[in-house]
Amino acid sequence: MSKEAIKTRIAELSKDIEAHNYNYYVLDKPTVSDYDFDMMLEELIKLEKEHPEFALLDSPTQRVGGQITKEFKSVKHKYPMLSLSNSYSTEDMEDFDRRVREGLGLSNDLFGGAVDYVCELKFDGLSIGLTYINGQLQQAVTRGDGVQGDDVTTNAKTIRSIPLKLKGHYPNEFEIRGEIFLPRRAFDQINKEREEIGETPLANPRNAASGTMKMQDSKVVAKRKLDCFLYFLLGEQVPHQKHSENLEAAKSWGFKVSEHTKVCHGINEVLKYIEHWDKARHQLPYDIDGIVIKVNDYKQQQHLGFTAKSPRWAIAYKFKAEQVSTQLEKITYQVGRTGAITPVANLKPVLLAGTTVKRASLHNADIIEKLDVREGDFVFVEKGGEIIPKIIGVDLTKRPEHLAKTKYITHCPECNTELIRHEGEALHYCPNENGCPPQVKGKMEHFVSRKAMNIDSLGGETIEQLYEAGLLRNIADIYDLKKEQLLPLERMAEKSAQNLIAGIEKSKEVPFERVLFAIGIRHVGETTAKKIARKVKNIDTLSSLNKEQLAEIDEVGETIADSILDFFSNNDNKIIIERLKQSGLQFEINVEDVQPGSDKLKDLTIVISGVFSKHSRDEYKDMIERNGGKNSGSISKKTSFVLAGDNMGPEKLKKAESLGVKILNEDDFLEMLK
């Protein structure tokens, strides 16, 4: 291919990929399969790598990430990012409307001289200002203190709903503001993966979105699947005199604008909008914490002006979170599988949002310090995101004088090892990973779990029993167990002992990728273990790679590379791996496992639901991947079909039927693969 042809091909691919990005992430109407999209992106990455001189400044490959930001530069906002006044009641909203109409010289009669307001969902995320010059994204800046914020342009470019280049007729230069957020589904997936690798779950989507945008590695940011709604246009060349019309214009340029934004005539329509979303917000796939109300007409906005802190023409209505007060009786500390220490508030039981709450996470030392929470305090508790109980403050009016300030523990509550805190991390850790009882038992519970070695006859209670009896001290000891050692133990009859030994023996057939997940390298989850195993083929190769070689593996960034190096530099871990090898575990990938069975399911997205008789769910998932298909956990209009067993979930069945998604049984599916 000539250089001119390569240049043309790069331009074509860039244009097509951005069009597909827009269709998928903004319009939610994909026009190409995931597979074809990935192939186009791979081709573009390869061509740009070989011919960097032809790469476009707004190339869609920037969305993959990879750049490292050592320091986030502070930037002064061209237009100050003021906060909004908050309201919490109908009376507050009526007062706001009265002030607006008085400021505009309109009738004081509630039903006369009505103003047109734009009502918008108040997304619970991170405020962002995006500057575009000649249709290209130039800069992305966080709110900061309202006067200046952090330049997070590199990370913002990885968010696929933020256009890198605009389309249509747009001003030469303008700023558009919006909210970067983490959809609940993406948040749940991140926490599921964190729990699999023994990490503390993230507290809520809002903090997760904010923390993600300040990550130094943009490749990690890209994997988090952040999203962004835009809602306010600024500049000297904005095309229209009404806020609602400018939002429509922004939508035509390629921005993602919420479909739920509505123009309301007068305060009564505004109150109806608020009432609707106070109930309907729980059905949204992302979190909102209120409604933003803005005067629609820019001339009216200009006439009303600003106070020192906020505009007079806009207000935020905040939904009430159910909140209760109760006494914090004691702060205890839990040790996780990776040694992470989590402080827990043990509360006097209290009813909150229909459930009795007895405990709430205090997350880390910084939160305890910030809240200045003490044993014996009366604390305010609410359910963050309507799910997780959290302490939001202390009722200082009820604090007795004698209460001592909380001192965060310095030593592990289980093994008394001095705790460490890594730079840049919020949590304290116990470094005694091979001697601290909760860590040792936690590693064993992870090792035998269904997605790892799948020794179902060896559960948490049995591990506890064997640990207390001195028969287990690490995962390698599991393969040294003998039936004669088990029989004297309480509740361990001949049959159960035999089943346990048989289950341990059967686990030796588990493939390398699951063994790699099972051994519990920090940050290496199920998906990452699979990608590493298929790349390196065996444990010896993995243990010999340096940091740069590790970082080249898909899903492995700097953090995971460091974690792998730390694991194999520990002599205790080397001894355990060697013992597991001698016991017959699979530390080398089967060549057949890396070769797809066929492409019969190519480009198909399949959801599995129900109980199966001929194969396990995991075996069906493996069949789908080996035949070119893609597994998905939820049904959408992108689902090709549902593989359904007995007792398919009623909600999934209802969703499939409403979307017209085909449902296949086991026999249909197996026949398809023949």
Q: Hey, is 113 helix, strand or coil?
A: coil
Instruction: For residue 437, count other CB atoms closer than 10 A to its CB.
Output: 16
- The answer on pLDDT for 53 being more than 50 is yes
| 521-547 pLDDT, tens digit each | 988 988 889 889 988 999 999 999 999
- String of DSSP letters for 244-266: HHHHHHHHHHT----TT-EEEES
Per the listing, tokens 């030593």 go with 411
Work out the pLDDT band at 140, boundaries 50, 70, 90: very high
Instruction: From 239, 224, 217, select the one nearest 166 (Cα to Cα).
Output: 239
554 CB-side CA count, 13 A? 8
How far apart, in whole angstroms, are the C-alpha atoms of residue 267 and residue 543? 66
Between 323 and 607, where is the model more confident?
A: 607
Check residue 234 and give its pLDDT: 94
Percent of the chain with pLDDT over 70: 96
Work out the pLDDT band at 112, boundaries 50, 70, 90: low
Alpha helices (H) in 136-242, listed in sequence order: 153-156, 184-196, 205-213, 218-223
CA 624 to centroid of chain Cα atoms: 25
First to last CA, the chain: 40
- The answer on pLDDT for 386 being more than 50 is no
Tokens linked to 359 = 């405990």
- The answer on pLDDT for 211 being more than 90 is no
| 409-425 pLDDT, tens digit each | 999 999 999 999 988 78
Ordered structural domains, the chain, with CATH = 3-64 (1.10.287.610), 90-318 (3.30.470.30), 323-398 (2.40.50.140), 437-509 (1.10.150.20), 512-593 (1.10.150.20), 596-673 (3.40.50.10190)
What is the number of H-type helices and E-type strands within the chain?
25, 20
Instruction: From 224, 221, 251, 209, select the one nearest 62 (Cα to Cα).
Output: 221
Work out the pLDDT band at 32, boundaries 50, 70, 90: confident
Tokens linked to 208 = 């997760």
Check residue 17 and give its pLDDT: 86
How far apart, in whole angstroms, are the C-alpha atoms of residue 53 and residue 71? 27
Check residue 354 and give its pLDDT: 63
How far apart, in whole angstroms, are the C-alpha atoms of residue 557 and residue 548? 10
Residue 300 and residue 313 in contact, taking contact as beta carbons nearer than 8 Å: yes
For residue 40, the one-letter residue type is: M
Instruction: For residue 659, count other CB atoms closer than 10 A to its CB.
Output: 12
Bridge partners, residue 316, by sequence? 86, 292
Tokens linked to 253 = 């340029």
Say if residue 613 is exposed, middle or buried (CB neighbours under 10 Å; 0-12, 13-18, 19+).
Answer: exposed
- The answer on pLDDT for 48 being more than 50 is yes
**Torsion angle defined by CA atoms of residues 234, 238, 243 and 247, in that order, rounded to the nearest 10 degrees:** -90
- The answer on pLDDT for 50 being more than 50 is yes
H or E stretch covering 650: helix 650-659
Instruction: From 80, 3, 101, select the one nearest 47 (Cα to Cα).
Output: 3
H or E stretch covering 74: strand 74-76
Strands 116-123 and 288-295: antiparallel
Mean pLDDT of the chain: 88
- String of DSSP letters for 570-617: -HHHHHHHHHHHHTT---B--HHHHS-S-STTTT-EEEEESB-SSS-H
H or E stretch covering 123: strand 116-123
| 246-269 pLDDT, tens digit each | 999 999 999 999 999 999 999 999
Check residue 602 and give its pLDDT: 86
Looking at residues 556-580, what average pLDDT do you find?
A: 92
Exposure pattern of 78-103 as b/e (b: 16+ CB <10 Å)? eeebbebeebeeeeebbebbeebbeb
Instruction: From 141, 124, 363, 315, select the one nearest 229 (Cα to Cα).
Output: 124
What distance separates the 2 farthest-apart alpha carbons in the chain? 92
Catalytic residue among 3, 73, 122, 547: 122
Check residue 69 and give its pLDDT: 72
How far apart, in whole angstroms, are the C-alpha atoms of residue 458 and residue 39? 43
Residue 43 and residue 129 in contact, taking contact as beta carbons nearer than 8 Å: no
Residue 62 gets which letter from DSSP? G
What is each CA distance from 657 to 642, 649, 652, 668, in whole angstroms? 11, 12, 9, 18
Instruction: From 341, 328, 329, 330, select the one nearest 413 (Cα to Cα).
Output: 341
What is each CA distance from 381 to 256, 326, 352, 367, in whole angstroms? 35, 8, 8, 14
What is each CA distance from 543 to 546, 550, 574, in whole angstroms? 8, 10, 9
Per the listing, tokens 């109908």 go with 90
- String of DSSP letters for 460-528: HHHHHHHHHTTS-SSGGGGGG--HHHHTTSTT--HHHHHHHHHHHHHGGGS-HHHHHHHTT-TT--HHH
Looking at residues 314-326, what average pLDDT do you find?
A: 87
Q: Is 441 a catalytic residue?
A: no
Looking at residues 68-84, what average pLDDT do you find?
A: 85
- The answer on pLDDT for 29 being more than 80 is no
**476-481, long-range: CB within 8 Å, 24+ apart, which pairs?**
476/575, 476/576, 476/579, 476/580, 476/583, 478/444, 478/447, 478/448, 478/504, 479/504, 479/579, 479/580, 479/583, 479/584, 479/585, 480/583
| 642-666 pLDDT, tens digit each | 999 887 877 788 888 888 899 999 8
